[in-house]
Structure 1
Amino acid sequence: MLCRSLFFLVLLSAGCVSPDPHYSTPLSPIPASLPGAQGQGKAISHDW
């Protein structure tokens, strides 16, 4: 019984370990302004 309990304890603790290396996502360059024309300030046209 002790052997079985120890086996399941080892299995549970092994599930908490991550095999992948420590990885941090690289910073991507973000432009200060997007290319293209500026908007006109109106979302919809009211003159139907």
Structure 2
Amino acid sequence: MEHNMKNRHFIMLLVALGLSSCATIEGIGKDLESAGEAIQEGTRDKGE
């Protein structure tokens, strides 16, 4: 019984970490997108 409870806690921990990492990955994606847009604007300015 004790082993089964440890497995459940471990699975709940993995689910919690998975859900929290989704928000982090989305934030990183937005940061990378804004950095890419800044680079594009910088290259446009140099080309003019």
Q: TM-score scaled to structure 1, two decimals?
A: 0.40
Looking at secondary structure, tell me which structure has more helix per residue. Answer: 2
Structure of larger gyration radius:
1
Q: TM-score scaled to structure 2, two decimals?
A: 0.40
